[in-house]
Chains A and B, each alone.
Chain A
Amino acid sequence: MYPASFDYVAPTGLEEAIALLDSHGHDAKVVAGGQSLIPLMKFRFASPAILVDINGIPGLDTLAEGDGGLHIGALVRHKDCERSTLLHGGRWGLLGATARLVADPLIRNRGTVCGSLAHADPQGDWASAMMACRAEVVAQGPAGSRRIPVGELVVGPFETQIEPNEIITECVVPDPGANTGGTYLKLERKIGDYATAAVAVQVSMTNGTIGTAGIALTGVGSRNIQASEAEALLGGKEPSAQLIVEASKLAAAAADPTADNRGSVEYKRSVIRVFTERALTESIRQAKGGAL
């Protein structure tokens, strides 16, 4: 399959890339990993007149702790997060757990975290993880840069509030502190399939009680869903099996799944309840340093 014809530019600087986007408006599209965009172009669901390839722009591949938390640059691939020992367990454990369940190994070698957020597929894994850990993206345009919480970035399926002349340069995850645990649990029919249902959880403990809890759901609505009521129930409480069960029921109630060949509404809601229970139990165990 061939996409419709397009022109291709590979700028070597961010200003040049933004200027190109500014002059071409809606006709231009940014490509980083292209693992969602290129299939869309082949199916001709997307037909940009010009493709602005940012792979040659230096400085966008940073994955490191820094000012304000963890910085994930626009060219950080899923694989970089999967392999980074920094994201194995501990305060960034949710991100490492998510990375290894995105698509398949070949797509993870090429696709990017920020590109996935920009693509805003309602089945995307990263948006749930980033909502659970309260991450923000940095969008840079001709007038400067602005920060957008991932929870507000997505306005609908495949639709974000990023302007046509803006580029997401990085995603910044606030440091949740040392007493944090997190994980991502995803049910998929086979590797590379979209989630039948998935749950992202991050819990930070303060003096034996839950300080903050983040819970977000994938695959059970027209966008990733933050389970705010479940989060609120957990905040400030001492963790217990009963509390986890109650929070999991609230998360299941927040899900808004549709029936398809991956499962019925009841089934998907049930998966959310069970996965939230497991993910909370595991995250709290991690946050307490191993003991429950």
Chain B
Amino acid sequence: MSTQAPPAARPVNVTINGQARSASVEPRALLVHYIRESLGLTGTHIGCDTTSCGACTVLVDGVPMKSCTMFAVQVEGKEITTVEGLKGAAGLHPVQEGFHEEHGLQCGFCTPGMMLSSKALLEDNPDPTEEEIRWALSGQICRCTGYTNIVKAVQYAAKKIREGSAA
């Protein structure tokens, strides 16, 4: 057993939801702890903590990833989007509106992760089939089992975004 002192905390600089932020953490600090505890953004949830449920999903440089399965030191200099960053100056993001209009949430615990994956999906594929939506969200668990309405919410958002960009 090593008797050395733990490695010192080091600064981790990110752009989160468009804002430059910095906080010092030990190398073993998980990204989700950095976001929730160091930066105070508690919209990102810890579900299973075992890389199974996807509740902690955030976007790292636009790509959905499990923030419980990355270390904060690994996102130095990267762009992070959390649920707090979805709402724009014009109001709710179409995905948020979709979850609201289609009752895409019951308890709401999985919702931040679901919405971030949905945002990434729609940027990649503006007109997904139901199968493609289910496939894209298949790493995320809704323990209320509200999947039908989650799919409808994403379809609502897709339509809204397509109509918006066509206008």
Contacts and interface: CB of A to CB of B under 8 A. Distances in A.
Interface of A: 1-8, 10, 34-35, 38-39, 41-42, 49, 51, 53, 55, 103-107, 109-110, 191-192
A2 B46 CA distance: 13
A7 B27 contact: yes
Interface of B: 2, 6-7, 26-30, 33, 49-52, 54, 57, 63-66, 69-71, 73-74, 76, 117, 135-140
A105 B73 contact: no
B7 A7 contact: yes
Nearest to B56: A106
A1 B71 contact: no
Contacts of B7: 5-8
Contact of B49 (A1, A7, A191): A1
- Which are the 4 A-B pairs with shortest beta-carbon distances? A104-B139, A8-B27, A5-B6, A191-B138
A262 to B, nearest CB: 16
Contacts of B135: 105
A4 B1 CA distance: 11
Contact of B139 (A8, A39, A105): A105
A6 B65 CA distance: 22
A106 B139 contact: yes
A41 B138 CA distance: 25
Contact of B138 (A10, A39, A49, A105): A105
Given A106-B66, A191-B139, A6 B28 contact: yes
Given A8-B71, A10-B76, 12 more contacts: A5-B26, A8-B73, A34-B69, A35-B51, A39-B50, A42-B50, A105-B136, A106-B57, A106-B64, A106-B117, A106-B140, A107-B51
Given A8-B27, A34-B70, A39 B51 contact: yes
A53 B117 CA distance: 26
Contact of A192 (B27, B65, B70, B138): B138
Given A6-B28, A34-B70, A104 B49 contact: no
